A and B are shown apart, each in its own frame.
Chain A
Amino acid sequence: MHKTISQINERIRDGSARVVTAEEMPAIVAELGEQGALKEVDVVTTGTFGAMCSSGAFFNFGHAEPPIRMERIWLNNVEAYGGLAAVDTYIGATQQSDTREDEYGGAHVLEDLVAGKSVELRASSRGTDCYPRRTITTELLLENVNQATMCNPRNAYQRYNAATNTTDRTLHTYMGTLLPGCGNVSYSGAGLLNPISNDPHFRLIGSGVPIFLCGAQGMVIGEGTQHSPAGGFGTLMVTGNLKEMSQDYMRAATMKGYGVTLYVGLGIPLPVLDLDVVRATAVRDEDISVDILDYAVPSRSRPVIRKANYAELRSGSIDINGEEVKTSSLSSFRRARQVAAELKGWVEQGKMQLALPTRLIDAKKVSRPMHQSTQGPRVLDIMDRQVVSIHEDEEIKTAAKKLLKGETNHLPVINGAGVLVGIVTTFDISKAVANPGKAHLVKDIMKTKVITAKPDEAVDIAVQKLEQYNISALPVVDADHRVLGILTAMNLGKLFGGRWLK
């Protein structure tokens, strides 16, 4: 048995379609069997509500008198793109205000407009024969613009890897606050309610398919950017009319230490055409696994701590190396449910009919990392190789002499085996001289917790360490912790020679 999309739409029109949410579907299939569920259910609605940074909107403001071709554009001091000519622009959700930093951004502009607040448009131009005006400032309401079209390049991630942190300090990431020592696990995603997880082969979700987008009736444009369904990370590019959206389903937010983002509510109604659709929409939280990644590693490929499914993540705690660690979500399951329920109402009341894709989305694609034609500078490119070090059993006086002679402020301290065991700075030595006590040897005053760099580490990572720990030098060590060089703030000056800044 199978049903056609026109049969389903006919039932929607005459109000007899049976519509359920993706959360209800597993129990229905368990009760009625796959054949029974196919007969019973016509439409399954999905929903997700989470932080979707890759969001924004196009605007057309209409022409001013005299007219202007806007080149630099701000909405409430948040810069918008000025390369679309005349009076069009695109504002991205994560763009931050020039004056209020991460307290206000593109996402807040969008939410303010949807909430009926006025927003200040400010723009400037060189002025041309056809567009003589050079500046404009005006207050606008959403009803004052010709078009306000939300267009989100990468939304509705099929799933998202969870995050934890093995370092000894709190990290502030786009996955929220990550407490030290695997103090918590942060995850995102609606699990069994997620649209793509209910259609992982993209048979039903594709270009032209109607969707719920922030309370408006929107549409799938096609595959989203970074779409990588082969590994379970499909994404969608979607659009909808901002003028029809509701604050209930779109919220500006700030992730501390990361920046501004937009919470987007998105749902897709799926027509139950055949048994394959029944099986796909019977997906449970237990069936959807993600990796818990260690955000301690500032790299594209972060180590996997363990795998976990959404049922485990949603349970509130998870076992990591024998310890029970609390989990919490960044996306809202309650709002995801509300999206799916609202969408269910739309279809039941005949407000939305379904359509099959006019163009299919590739279900096997793999997103690749950036092709980098040049390597960025590494620590070994700029470190000082002539490093003066000192033995831990030397006298403090010897260290002072070495510091003077070596014209440096930092002395790595090594033991008999040549392994780095500490560091002394001019400050440590001045302190030891000013407050003479029992300390005579370098090992009595050295700092044993040394922050180091690796030779093949990117300079950006080393700079981050200098900033984080508020220090001015990093001993560079090999795998056996032997000192190869030292990277100081002075060495960073080499970067400004232009060699790396082309």
Chain B
Amino acid sequence: MHLQHQCGTRPALRATHRLTSPHQAADLAAGFDRAACTELADTALRLARIAGAGYADIRVGCNQTEFFYAREDKLQAVQYALEVGFGVRVLMNGSWGFAGSSTLAEAEVERMVARAVENARASARIQGAPIVIEDLPAYREDWIMPLKTDPLQIATDVKAAHLLAVNAAAMRSGADFCSATLHTVREQRFFASTRGSAIFQNRLRTSPGFTATATNKDTGKFVTRDSLAAPRGAGWDYVESCDLVAEAALAGAEVREKLAAKSVAPGAYDLVIDPTNLFLTIHESIGHSTELDRALGWEADFAGTSFITPDKLGKLQIGSPLMTVIADRSQEGGLATVGFDDDGARTAGQEFPIVENGVFKNYQMAMGQAQYIGRDASNGCAYCDSPAAFPIQRMPNISLQPNPQKTSIDDLIGGIERGIYIKGAGSWSIDQQRDNFQFSGQLFYEIKGGKLGPMLRDVAYQSRTVSFWNAMDGLGDSSTYVLGGSFFCGKGQPMQLAPVSHGAPAARFRGITVLNTEREDA
């Protein structure tokens, strides 16, 4: 996944022309031509209406991705990709039908509308509960993510030199190997529906990172230390602000130290979890458990269901009173930040609490779901990873709010007699109803008598969602807050990958089970 030729190196707006040949379709791919998008959409929606669809929508899009990979002192890959396509969705007599293609041509739109209609008719045979959708308002707007420096406009050799400098810094300070990556995605999408919506959107995300490795050939042991930098909805200026070269210099020494660190003794510990680790615990235990499609059983075959069933809405004390979690698609730098979701629902001003003072308050919803919990409408959480994929409910940015009382990481550590401080995301796993989880990390430090001690290794913490979040008795203030995230949250069948951010302050948890992950007998 991943690529670029500035969809915008040609004028974003062109004179109207007819999309009757693949050649013209290529022009659309290169320029994301507004008039051409509109024309394709008009054709699709008109044909859907003629076929008898009560509702239809179309997404026409262009994803540009660029991916750099360097190992040690060698730049080994630079890949640019341009993915164009469209997807038509029709609702006919209570059944969805969907079809998508990477060929942007009028004849292909006609073929795919016919396939969508055919799919809806085939689904009708097994449509026990008709699909019913709420009447979302129509919008005719553009939304463009604010961007300082477009990474796709930065010269290849500049980006290459940056990654090689990262690797060199890690190697100089103790790493045996280091690989660095830079991944950029620009997502441009046009949405139109039979309700009259016509929405153009343009956003960009960047993910810089590296992995430093230390080995001991005498013993056969090896350890790694990943960068703590987060992917963001931001540009090259963000990449520079991460100062990965400085972090890599630190990481080279740390990975060497980790190789020789004391292996943790398993048992119950108090933990201070850094936001660079906690973001992923929020994602897995709070983000996925509060997806309404899961709670309704719609994802039972693969992604799973949720232990948070609708009867718990407004009642479940999911965490301590310190815990408030807000969902938004408006946070600056958020990977899920966008003006309208892929159902065409406006997201600005739709921020909502998922957890308020420890109480579960709301689910994430896409179109057609709110009625099942007595609500009026979607809260803007639909997404498809390609214009040619069916939109499903995906996470907005979901963030744990910082403590309004001044509280530093040192304050949190100071309240612990015997514990561990955990930084960075490592191995992660959670059950299919989002209850039993186990997470590792990148860096672990012993806490003794309120002070940070030496590094540990082989640490993983295991808990259950409700007991873990109710064991939180300390929360950092906004000075400890970091917006973490991932490009690759998988869900759905066929699996779709969604980008999502999670902000978190540092937090303290009491009496959490810690395992040792080294297996000497193998």
Q: Real complex partners, A and B?
A: no
